[in-house]
Amino acid sequence: MSYQFKDLKISKLSIIGAGQIGPDIALHFAKVFATHDVQIVIVDIAEKALDNAKKKIEKKIAKGLETRAFKPEMAEAMSASIHYTLYYENIANSDIVLEAATEDENIKDVIFKQVQEICDENCLFFSNSSHMQPEVIFKNIKDQSRCMVTHYFFPAERNPVIEIIPSGKTAPAHIDNVMGLYESIGKIPIKVKSSYGYAVDPIFEGLCQTAILCLERGYGSVKEIDKAACDTLGLGVGPFTALNLTGGNPITNHGLDEMGEKLMPWFRSPDALQKAVADGTPWPTAGRNEVVEVPDDKRAKLENEFLGAYFALSGFILDLGIVDVSDLNLACEIALSMKAPFKMMNKIGTDKALEIVTQFCGEHTGFDVPISLANAAQTGNWKIHNVIRTVKNNIAVLTIRRPKVLNALNSELMAELKDHFDDISKDSSIIGSVLTGFGNKAFVSGADIRELASCKTPEEGYQMCMKFHDTLNFIDQMNKPVVCAMNGFAFGGGNELAMACSTRICKKGLPIAVCQPEVNLGFIPGSGGTQRLPRLVGLGTGSEILRTGRPVSSEEAVRIGLILKEVEGDLIDEGINVIKQLYRGSISPRKASEIPLYVIGERQNIVIGHLSKKIDHILSKAIYEGAKMDFKDGLELEARLFGECINTKDMKIGLENFMKNGPKVKAEFVHE
């Protein structure tokens, strides 16, 4: 067996280096390839390193079994897929070789010279470097078209972000394949142009430098500085704690001095860091559950330092021209587990951010105010995109990318979608569009629950629904076909968005493809679900799915006519084929009828179990009375009735239960 992504077939994957990060990378590959019988080889020249790597991996697999993250058969397959060896010849016939050895130019050069002699010309060469440019690492490889840096973040098996850094010689087809491969196995790949330290590490290490400089200048203790950094930037752990956890003192010490030479003179390894490396001692950070109080005067100074550094460093990276705003915003938020920098600046105002950075740069020699930030302050804000648009064969491909919330919809995203579709409708070179979601789990996980919960009156609920209707109706009435390519499940607003498209296709074999789970949370669909679903699959089937909130598999969705087909191969390529068929008229759109449905008799008697009888009454009114109306009037009715839910006790109960306990705990409705 093997894992296939487009024309990239993986039967064997080798990792060189069994130190700190190599085993974690191997564990991730073992997990995602467990059902594909892909052989994973870990090579190291030290038997002790291999023994430690095996213990580390087996311990984490055992933990996964204990927490039920892995089923026994999966855990067994993961363990069996990994092979540990001292001998380089065992990497022969690998499809990918990933080097995760010491951050040393000569060592990496020696490794890849050996790899080049053992592996064939089709093998891809990756280096998990944290700083070094691909031109340096692969300088002695004959065919550099297959070489790139893949920079993982701690912990590599769980942190989803990975920087992909090709050189000028890397083949574009290989870059596209690798970006797509990583997305298909659950990572968030960010493409970065070649530059020392890439895009994210100069920010992380720059914040570490800031923290250490604050310590040297007496602005606070290690514990106080860590606490202030966490509070200011939303960090999961402070800079000093992060250095301890990752063993990052030596790498950061070296990296800062190198960045001082290669990037800008502000970067340098502070004396306290050099001493910590020489002594080999960790930073004296707070213990588990230890409460750290930061005096107000210290807090104010530290907050300005960290905001100034974070905003200045983010702007500096943009000035290098190696990554765009949206990618860097996403990478910092998820890879470093902190507030997104450009979103933060927009929230406080880019003029205020510029003021903070100007003060910071005035106090830090060698750091100029970033040009990009000065420009953003003039234009008003940073343009951050949650929808990625590409064009292939005169067909626009729109990808909703909000991976932290599984592509959940909010008003901002809906407005961005409408702008894209408006541009597409006016572009004579575009014949249609494919709409999909980022990642391998969800097309769209639903509407943003916190935004829904912010509606306090029926009128606010009504107005929010009408804003969503505005975008979905625009898509519905497009003068060009729109195919929804469902890369994963579509819940709530995600299914409503899909139903507004000309037709829908999805990945084959989804146990849950669509669901309208609103009744579980104590309200009704508000983005057209009560009107489009019955008109697409029939009143009986549609009402049963809506009123019970039960999930529908991809197989059933095709059978009832909601989805055109399941797709086994490349979903986007098939979406493009369907667009061409719709454009030629060889297949017809599958859209909700605008005329009333023919309704016979009373509403169905459906068992709703623990669900709210009050909400079911409102929902039934939306479904059955809306079915008798023209589509436009039915949507108006739905929006009004959604607003009516806001005054019920059960909507409050449902939302509070969801936000406190998640979707698996049933709400205790009172039917009022």
Helix, strand, coil % over all residues of the chain, rounded to 5: 50, 15, 35
Interatomic CA distance for residues 110 and 116, integer angstroms: 10
Distance CA 99, CA 141 (A): 14
List, as one string, the DSSP characters of 328-395. Answer: HHHHHHHHTTS--HHHHHHHH-HHHHHHHHHHHHHHSTT-PPPHHHHHHHHHSS----SEEEEEETTE
Q: How does strand 395-400 pair with strand 432-437?
A: parallel
CB atoms under 10 Å from CB of 640, counted, come to 17
Strand order in the sheet with 161-166: 82-85, 39-43, 12-16, 96-99, 124-127, 147-152, 161-166, 188-191
- For residue 72, count other CB atoms closer than 10 A to its CB: 8
> b/e for 313-349, b at 16 or more Cβ within 10 A?
bbbbbbebebbbbbbbbbbbbbbbbbbbbbebbbeee
What SS3 class is residue 440? coil
Phi, psi of 180 (to 5 degrees): -65, -40
**Residues identified as active-site:** 496, 518
Identify whether the C-beta of residue 302 lies closer than 8 Å to the C-beta of residue 215: no
Asked if 292 and 226 touch (Cβ cutoff 8 Å), the reply is: yes
Q: Under DSSP, is residue 152 helix (H, G, I), strand (E, B) or coil? A: strand
Can you tell me whether residue 266 is helix, strand or coil? coil
Q: How many Cα atoms within 13 Å fall on the side-chain side of residue 184?
A: 17
425 by Cβ neighbours in 10 Å (0-12 / 13-18 / 19+) ranks as middle
Contact 535, 592 (CB under 8 A): yes
For 150, half-sphere exposure in the C-beta direction (CA atoms, 13 angstrom radius) is 26
CA separation (Å) from 34 to 26, 40, 332, 380, 668? 11, 10, 30, 48, 39
Report the alpha-carbon distance of residue 399 to residue 435 in Å, rounded: 6
Q: What does the alpha-carbon distance between residue 226 and residue 233 come to, in Å, rounded to a whole number?
A: 11
